[in-house]
Structure 1
Amino acid sequence: MDENLKQIALDNRESIVETWKNEVEKLKSQNYTSTISDELFESTNREFANVIFESINDGGSTKSVELFSEKIINLGWPLSYITDGLQVFRRATIDVILGTTKKVDTDSLSLILTSVDQWVEPIIRQLVNEYSGSWENIVSLQRVALQELSAPLIPVVEGITVMPLIGTIDTERAKLIMENLLDGVIRHNSEVVLIDITGVPVVDTMVAHHIIQAAEAVRLVGAICILSGIRPEIAQTIVNLGIDLEKFPTKNTLEKGFTSALEMTNRKLTDLDTKQHFDIEQLIKSIKGV
């Protein structure tokens, strides 16, 4: 940036920031930050301005840019806050510099525009790149976390485990379900595994195929698979598709599936006398068939 114009920008920092903040405030409802509190919006704008002015002295502080982009992502603010804010900052800076210049001709105007662009454009690239990189990293971490939660195998009592499935089942998730099932059956020494599809909104041919494959794999490693959560609409879909589930016990609720699992492992639930005090040890013994 031209040194004379750089000094003008520094000398008129407060004026530039004030003009910029007023313009950014008008864009608040357009870049999805209208629900942000005034205090947080004000403090973030001040930090944004500091990041911009730091760059004019040291050519851009990578660390401050990185920290600011991470903060915006953590706040849940959109990328448009950064891009719109910097475009407004460019206009505010040009207006203030022009206001302090006594004579403006074509050459001086071209110098002002070029100099401000040389200042702002690298910040735009840095912030957008840092924002995109941080966002991709967060999405990647979230994807891993969701995969870990997408097919949990839960040991309920000795010999019985439950896998509750929620949401859409695609090929990638079906592979994870298969891996978790087989690993869990061996690790927990399961005799019966309940696959509960109460939370699966749609069961089509592909989903049914994946579930049957998983159940068959469980059977091959020596455990029994019970499919629970068969709602009326799902039962009708399975019949219409001609899918054969005769090899696998099915129940319409997880509760009934668990009761069947207890019976298969020579246990049963016993009702406690309602007049007696609740005894957790007695309940555990009744579940275990003691």
Structure 2
Amino acid sequence: MDEKFKKIAMENSDSIVHLWLDEIGSMKDYNYTSSISEELFESTNREFVNVIFASIKNQGNSKTVEDFSEKLINLGWPLSYITDGLQVFRRVTIDYILSQSDQVDSTYISNVLQSVDNWTEPIIRQLVNEYTGSWEHIVSLQRVALQELSAPLIPVMERITIMPLIGTIDTERAKLIMENLLEGAIKHNSEVVLIDITGVPVVDTMVAHHIIQAAEAVRLIGSTCILVGIRPEIAQTIVNLGIDLGKFPTKSSLKKGFRKALEITDRKVVDLDKKYGEIEEMIDSLGEG
């Protein structure tokens, strides 16, 4: 019996597609697709219904379904577009098949319902699984990228690295900061590591504790940690909280911290214009002599 109904659906696919497109189109003004251009909406709907019929005909086409699901994610369309579209297809197809027969007994109707469900349910499962799988993969990649950006360690000069921190610091991020500091300091053979908290909006007891732990860990592997970006309000908060930051150097700005790092590594900033002037004066005095 299922093959009979499938034959009716495939032979009359144009009519079913037309009915499906009409009903989906009427939903556009009332749901999440209202802001989508007519051209994109129509082309995606046609691709969707083609995927449905291809799955019915070929008993599932994983590559086609996977590509369509990934396209929807890239377009930013929600999962409800898939479920709504398949429910509309189910309803339209059942109505069309029933309209093609004079039989109205409950057995026939039950067979039609069961047959159409047997087509649509695997498609729903496959599309939803592919959609959620692709979404989870994208979210996972984004999470990794955000983690890398949340605690970057930047080698700016031989033996000197900087970790600029922006945003709030929670326990999970503090752990990442610690790991990146230690791994990066060893990898870059850092003698001095500057932690820049200019972009950290609030430094409370927990944040200060995490920073102190990180600085202490860096000290234990033989490097010096300099905390920079101590704004006046942050300094006042630290004093009011009774937090001791005396174990490692602190500076109000990255510029001052970098100068300190140069001193620690036996280097300094030289004014070339001034230096050239001194050399010229020395040459002039030698010439006069």
For this structure pair, what is the TM-score category when the shorter chain's length is used for normalisation? Answer: 0.7 to 0.9
Residue of structure 2 in register with 1:214 after alignment = 214
Residue of structure 2 in register with 1:250 after alignment = 250
AA of the residue aligned to 2:57: N
Residue correspondence of structure 1 range 68-107 to structure 2 within 5 A:
68-107=68-107
AA of the residue aligned to 2:141: L
Query: How many residues matched?
Result: 273
* Distance (Å, rounded) in 2 between the aligned partners of 1:267 and 1:27: 70
Does 2:14 correspond to 1:14? yes
Residue correspondence of structure 1 range 1-290 to structure 2 within 5 A:
2-28=2-28, 32-270=32-270
AA of the residue aligned to 2:35: T
SS in 2 for 1:193: strand
Structure 2, unmatched stretches of 5+, are: 274-289
| 1:233-254 CA-partner distances (Å, limit 9, x unpaired) | 4333323332111222223332
SS in 2 for 1:124: helix
AA of the residue aligned to 1:193: V
AA of the residue aligned to 2:153: L
The answer on whether the counterparts of 1:193 and 1:224 sit within 8 Å (CA) in structure 2 is yes
Q: CA deviation at 1:2?
A: 1.9
AA of the residue aligned to 1:111: N
SS in 1 for 2:210: helix
The percent of aligned pairs where both chains have the same amino acid is 75
As a proportion of its length, which structure holds more helix?
A: 2
Q: CA deviation at 1:77?
A: 1.7
Instruction: Let me know the Cα RMSD of the aligned residues.
Output: 2.3
* Distance (Å, rounded) in 2 between the aligned partners of 1:259 and 1:28: 61
Residue of structure 1 in register with 2:279 after alignment = none
Q: CA deviation at 1:123?
A: 0.7
AA of the residue aligned to 2:240: N
SS in 2 for 1:102: coil
Q: CA deviation at 1:119?
A: 1.2
SS in 1 for 2:163: strand
TM-score (structure 2 length as normaliser): 0.84
Q: CA deviation at 1:146?
A: 2.4
* Distance (Å, rounded) in 1 between the aligned partners of 2:29 and 2:231: 44
SS in 2 for 1:207: helix
| 1:140-197 CA-partner distances (Å, limit 9, x unpaired) | 2222232233221111122221001123323333222222212222332322211012
| 1:101-152 CA-partner distances (Å, limit 9, x unpaired) | 3342333322222221111111111111111122222222222232233221
SS in 1 for 2:47: helix
SS in 2 for 1:198: strand
State the structure with more CA Rg: 2
| 1:202-258 CA-partner distances (Å, limit 9, x unpaired) | 323222211111111122222221112223443333233321112222233323322
The answer on whether the counterparts of 1:70 and 1:134 sit within 8 Å (CA) in structure 2 is yes
Greater CA drift, 91-100 or 190-199: 91-100
* Distance (Å, rounded) in 2 between the aligned partners of 1:207 and 1:29: 48
Cα separation, partners in 2 of 1:197 and 1:123, compared to 1, 3 Å? same
SS in 2 for 1:226: strand
SS in 1 for 2:28: coil
Cα separation, partners in 2 of 1:30 and 1:245, compared to 1, 3 Å? farther
Greater CA drift, 186-195 or 80-89: 186-195
AA of the residue aligned to 2:265: T
AA of the residue aligned to 2:241: L
Residue of structure 1 in register with 2:282 after alignment = none
The answer on whether the counterparts of 1:31 and 1:81 sit within 8 Å (CA) in structure 2 is no
SS in 2 for 1:108: helix
The answer on whether the counterparts of 1:162 and 1:196 sit within 8 Å (CA) in structure 2 is yes
AA of the residue aligned to 2:36: I
Q: CA deviation at 1:30?
A: 5.3
TM-score (structure 1 length as normaliser): 0.84
Cα separation, partners in 2 of 1:226 and 1:27, compared to 1, 3 Å? farther
